[in-house]
Chains A and B, each alone.
Chain A
Amino acid sequence: MLMLTTIHGLMTDDALHERLHGLSHNDAVETIRLERQDMQRHRLRVETDKGTICAIALPRDVSLEDGAILEIDENRAIVVRAIEERWLELVPRDAEAALELGYHAGNLHWRVQFRDGRLAVALEGPEQAYLDRLTMFFDDGRAQRADG
């Protein structure tokens, strides 16, 4: 297991970008893909796309971010990439339905964004688990999926 305790910089840093580019020609850049919620962690066990088992253990005042370089030397680099977040967009029928939908989402502690009259819910688990909690809104037409 490879212990990773430092962020050396970001992929976009000029000096590191050159080194990464060189390593990539030798297929020596490994990627760790993380969900948004896992990016908040300071300590976790993960596997790179090339199968290296890593133990990430960062200081408490250091945070993971997209493009963070956790390892870089002449032989290899290991980079963190954030998996694109999934959202469920909901369209309320009217103002009354919007109030109820907003209350419901808050009551379930969902993380949301407001997008031009739509309520976007961050999917931090299986989409069906969220849809199941919205059945009564879909059934009586108080809300519908933006892509439905």
Chain B
Amino acid sequence: MNNKPASAARVGIGGPVGSGKTALVEQVIPRFARRGTRLAVITNDLVTKEDAERLKRSGLIDPERVVAVEAGACPHTVIREDPTLNLDAAELLELKFAPLDLVLLESGGDNLASTFSLELVDYWMFVIDVAGGGDIPRKRGPGVLQSDLLIINKSDLAPHVGVDLDLMIAEAEAVRGGKPVIVTNCHTGEGVDAIIDHVARDVLFDS
């Protein structure tokens, strides 16, 4: 390649409460670090900084590189309708820690209708989990349909909650019209490398 991007890539991570978004961030941080990707993280919560504090305490990343945005309302308002707070946070991080390669924006817990503005992020993934119900893909929420990458997390729980994981994957692939689906267990890290590969290929452009 003959020149470099002027700014860091911005990747959104959305999905319902408890699906494993912060656990996913904890899994991807060391993987990006190992491949030399310079990273910062923005978390969005309703009225707390809970997810940001968890990441700062994790020891995985310089706490200064983690910024919390408090939505004060349904989190989708600040990632879709008016993403100004997140745009400002991303610009500040890019200035403070230049040069950055990647800013991850984790949305607060939201419902299946949550989507990211493409003026805010270059690429976004939607995290659902097996324990949330095997029928989630069939419900065809905007997050499931429109995300660049759909992640089905907590694969290990399928036999314990009576979910046919193969059927859930097949239905997810069917409703997404060819867009990728990845199955993970963010507790152990299983499947996470494939997420890194997608981000590296599609927005970091280095694989």
**B36, CB-defined interface residue at 8 Å:** no
**A83, CB-defined interface residue at 8 Å:** no
A147 to chain B, nearest CB (A): 22
Partner of B118 from A41, A55, A126, A132 at Cβ < 8 Å: A41
**A2, CB-defined interface residue at 8 Å:** yes
**B19, CB-defined interface residue at 8 Å:** no
Per-residue contact bits, chain B 69-113, to A (CB 8 Å; 1 contact, 0 not): 000000000000000000000010000000000000000000001
**A5, CB-defined interface residue at 8 Å:** yes
Chain A residues within 8 Å of chain B by Cβ, number? 24
Binds A, one of B5-13, B46-54, B129-137, B183-191: B5-13
A57–B4 Cα distance when bound, in Å, is 8
Nearest to A1 among chain B residues (CB) is: B1
A109 touches B142 (CB 8 A): yes
**A136, CB-defined interface residue at 8 Å:** no
B residues near A38, Cβ cutoff 8 Å: 118
**B175, CB-defined interface residue at 8 Å:** yes
A5 to chain B, nearest CB (A): 6
B7 touches A59 (CB 8 A): yes
Q: How many inter-chain residue pairs (CB < 8 Å) link A and B?
A: 65
**B146, CB-defined interface residue at 8 Å:** yes
A67–B195 Cα distance when bound, in Å, is 33
A residues near B1, Cβ cutoff 8 Å: 1-3, 55
B residues near A124, Cβ cutoff 8 Å: 146
Q: List B residues at the A interface (Cβ < 8 Å).
A: 1-7, 9-10, 91, 113, 115, 117-119, 122-123, 140, 142, 145-146, 175, 177, 201-203, 205
Could you give 25 example pairs across A and B, Cβ below 8 Å? Answer: A3-B1, A3-B2, A5-B3, A5-B4, A5-B6, A38-B118, A40-B118, A41-B122, A43-B9, A43-B122, A43-B203, A44-B202, A44-B203, A57-B4, A57-B6, A57-B9, A58-B6, A59-B6, A60-B6, A60-B91, A108-B142, A109-B113, A125-B177, A129-B140, A132-B140
